[in-house]
Amino acid sequence: MAERAALEELVKLQGERVRGLKQQKASAELIEEEVAKLLKLKAQLGPDESKQKFVLKTPKGTRDYSPRQMAVREKVFDVIIRCFKRHGAEVIDTPVFELKETLTGKYGEDSKLIYDLKDQGGELLSLRYDLTVPFARYLAMNKLNNIKRYHIAKVYRRDNPAMTRGRYREFYQCDFDIAGNFDPMIPDAECLKIMCEILSSLQIGDFLVKVNDRRILDGMFAICGVPDSKFRTICSSVDKLDKMSWEEVKNEMVGEKGLAPEVADRIGDYVQQHGGVSLVEQLLQDPKLSQNKQALEGLRDLKLLFEYLALFGIDDKISFDLSLARGLDYYTGVIYEAVLLQTPAQAGEEPLGVGSVAAGGRYDGLVGMFDPKGRKVPCVGLSIGVERIFSIVEQRLEVLEEKVRTTETQVLVASAQKKLLEERLKLVSELWDAGIKAELLYKKNPKLLNQLQYCEEAGIPLVAIIGEQELKDGVIKLRSVTSREEVDVRRGDLVEEIKRRTGQPLCIC
Amino acid sequence: MAERAALEELVKLQGERVRGLKQQKASAELIEEEVAKLLKLKAQLGPDESKQKFVLKTPKGTRDYSPRQMAVREKVFDVIIRCFKRHGAEVIDTPVFELKETLTGKYGEDSKLIYDLKDQGGELLSLRYDLTVPFARYLAMNKLNNIKRYHIAKVYRRDNPAMTRGRYREFYQCDFDIAGNFDPMIPDAECLKIMCEILSSLQIGDFLVKVNDRRILDGMFAICGVPDSKFRTICSSVDKLDKMSWEEVKNEMAVLLQTPAQAGEEPLGVGSVAAGGRYDGLVGMFDPKGRKVPCVGLSIGVERIFSIVEQRLEVLEEKVRTTETQVLVASAQKKLLEERLKLVSELWDAGIKAELLYKKNPKLLNQLQYCEEAGIPLVAIIGEQELKDGVIKLRSVTSREEVREQDLKSGQNRDFNIYDGYFIDYWQKWSGTTPFSYKALELNPVSPPLEAAPTRTHRLVFAAFT
């Protein structure tokens, strides 16, 4: 040990010498010589095992969820899951990694963001990038023709967090999808209804759902004169209209992507439009657009969609927006995206900024890519961007200074004097057996004040105090932590009294 | 595309020719010649992209959870989580992978079972092997002196499934731990209480908890004359249930389960379904100052419990519902889609779990069949005549009786607005009542008076749900 300490000291000194030489800009040879000495010393130190212990961080782009963050997360998931269940969805789960082959060729350029597992002699594996490809694999594998399912799980993307503030590499997705051959637009309308229900219930502010259709986009580009080969890249430019002005977008299309200016202008006439069903009807009358078969199909489906959305009572939240173009390559029909109109701005702070909190669309060709016979199963679905919602809810709670409880404990079993541990253990056990959420301090002789303080910090509403005199009288003091009112309750009535006060049904839950 | 199809056809024919020649045992040269032609044709086809698609399996040792399996899983987790919450535990979550260094040196021989991530130019990462090391890392990182927490998540081990039947490489662990300096044995006792509560509530049969102490074992070996160097190996001979690779685990507790034997079947076999112990030295391995935080905890082996519960349900032939839908909105004739959409939307807005078929003009029979298959208890049928009368037919799927035509007139307003609150009102008001079965109500008309309920039929409606 002393040897090692001496060696570590030498390494430290040598390191300082090297740094000093570099600062003084000494000759390259001298520096090289001293660096070599340093490396040799370090090598003698051997693998630095002691250093291994003190790695106290989570991997880049990932984080732990503290109890407080879990409480927020649970609230949000509860709202979302209730909604999915209300609409009759089943739930599935899939492994965190898939065979590498399963994910290959499904994500285009984004494929470089996939986490691979090391080749340890077995199958080549990769962490899932989303929940949609696993879903398609599940459908094909089980030869299912239809299913309505939700799936909530973490996905993994090797994004560069420096470029996109707050972008995690491990994050939750909440997906809901309806797979199957059905009459047009009914499931699509239900997806939008679900999106609206969830965003309303979460109470994170007003929102708007933008709707468009891949076929309308493609048809529009065609009649404007966009060459087939440029469709995708023009698409991603058009999509930037929610962040950039039309002038900037046009410059990008013409200047960077080589699009003819007249073509860009024609596109501009269309993509700056948004509205309700009246815009759909207007475009159905458009002489050029209505000549395009694809666009016509898309427009007709959107018209039907709007009829259903009106019956669902949400048409006022939907906007047909011709600039909505982003999304993964596998969308084949209607596409939609929900944005918050105005995040609650805190005093003196910038609003969180616009951004989508949910998105989705129809993708009829994905399952066919997995089926040996190329059998198609049309799908439509949505994905809720919960990570963003977590931050918004957390922020809102902080602003409202609402205390978030991280436990559900209803009563603390306490003692007023010493040598009452036995009594506390017996009582708390009785409460647990009756289904009451209870705790006790792990101390033989805790001070009453400390026990009361514990309740205040944890937000526990009631405390059942055992005292020597009360034991003789056969009662327990039940105290409300906030009001400090106390009442003596007979031992035999305590369970009922606690249940009554906490609003619990008398049967064991 | 047509070219490719033609080429594929040629490949197929050539393949058949080769097979035919082999069957006829033609000359080796001839076969070789035809095989060469086949390979050449295949090469023309190019990289067979179509073949890539058909990888229809999950990785070795992992599986999907179907809706049915999820229903079982949700039930089991519900029991477990209720118990943890009853004892005042907080909950945390950690990432699925840790820095490789974090896991290094913690698992002894089992380290070779850790899944590593590929070095893609960033940090070296490994999938978590259990939930205890992440917990210790979390405690040290946040400088916590005490916490009572549970954590339910999947862990990853590159076990060889051939050797251990049914052993998964991705599986759930449910951990509960109490960290902190407390008076002796109180938290330890609570952990055992929790284990017993959970195993009782799960109703998977009688169980027994075995308890021992590492210090007693060590002391016993010493006085029996076991050389220090042989302690561990003697230990593992003695303890067949030993899966602990921690040097710091001082206590061992394991649960033996006698599973209820099914008629004519072998019992599932004994095996532990939960285990735990005290481990006082782990956090110190992470703390820069070597600061110790004593811990005691338990881990529930849920995968085994899932199978036991699934088996039990199969034996009891209990139907497991995979959705919670309460009512299907159906139509008796054609051209009633609009009405269905309006009604189902109102039910959703009122918080009722409802569905409709995604067909413009579904047959009533198909709609009823859908209810039977999914276990949906009620169907609300819209019909032309009923629309004119301002009513909806509410029908119990199991009894096939019409519960009763519900009068939905809102009183003064006799127009088309039949959804004007009446139906929904009652639903909301009574959805919180204590459950009564449909039959029980029929027999017992003296059940709690439902204020302002003009007819018994309304009671029947709500009771069937709750």
Domains and CATH numbers, chain A: 1-45 (1.10.287.10), 67-399 (3.30.930.10), 411-502 (3.40.50.800)
Q: Which of these ranges, A17-31, A49-63, A406-420, B203-217, has the smallest mean pLDDT?
A: A49-63
Whether residue A130 is annotated as binding a ligand: the answer is yes
Q: In which element (H, E) is residue A196 found?
A: helix A186-202
B41 three-class SS = helix
- List, for residues A235-262, the tens digit of each pLDDT value: 888 888 888 899 999 999 999 999 999 9
Beta strands in B332-457 (DSSP E): 354-355, 378-382, 391-396, 402-407
What is the pLDDT, as a whole number, of residue A187?
Answer: 98
- CA A301 – CA A278 distance, rounded (Å): 14
Distances (CA, A) of A162 to A159, A165, A166: 9, 6, 8
Q: pTM value?
A: 0.80
B212-270 residue pLDDT tens: 888 888 888 889 888 877 776 666 566 543 344 444 444 543 443 333 433 333 333 34
- Distance (Å) from the C-alpha of residue B225 to the closest C-alpha of chain A? 32
| The two three-digit tokens of residue B461, written as one number | 């409606």
pLDDT at position A395: 87
Low-confidence ranges of chain B (pLDDT < 70): 1-2, 46-55, 161-166, 232-271, 400-466
Q: What is the mean pLDDT of residues A479-498?
A: 96
pLDDT at B248: 42
Distance from CA of A241 to the nearest CA of B (A): 33
Q: Which residues in chain B (202-221) have CB-CB distances under 8 A to chain A?
A: none
The pLDDT, as a whole number, for residue B239 is: 55
Residue A490's pLDDT band (boundaries 50, 70, 90)?
Answer: very high
| A376 has a pLDDT exceeding 80 | yes
- A377 in reach of chain B (CB within 8 A): no
Q: Which of A64, A92, A406 sits opposite B94 (nearest CB)?
A: A64
CA nearest neighbour of A220 among A307, A283, A128, A137: A283
Which residues of chain B does A138 touch, with a Cβ-Cβ cutoff of 8 Å?
A: 64
Longest dimension (CA), chain B: 95
| Chain A positions in Cβ-Cβ contact with residue B138 (cut-off 8 Å) | 64
- Position A509 scores a pLDDT of 39
Token pair listed for B318 = 């209990």
B153 - beta bridge partners?
B173
Tracing tokens 């001082």 back to the chain, one arrives at B250
Give the number of other CB atoms < 10 A from CB of residue A88.
21
- Secondary structure of residue A496 in the 3-state scheme: helix
Report chain A residues whose CB lies below 8 A from the CB of B201.
none
Would you give the DSSP letter of residue A252?
I
To the question of whether residue A346 is assigned a binding role by annotation, the answer is no
pLDDT in tens, A82-135: 999 999 999 999 999 999 999 988 887 788 899 999 999 999 999 999 999 999
Nearest-angstrom CA–CA distance, B33 and B227: 72
Nearest chain B CA: its distance from A29 CA (Å): 31
Q: Does A145 contact chain B (CB < 8 Å)?
A: no
A64 interfaces chain B, CB cutoff of 8 Å:
yes
The pLDDT assigned to A164 comes to: 52
Please give the torsion angle defined by the CA atoms of residues A426, A428, A429 and A434, in that order, rounded to the nearest 10 degrees: 130
pLDDT tens, position by position, B256-287: 333 343 333 333 334 678 888 888 888 888 88
Token code pair at residue A100 = 């590498």
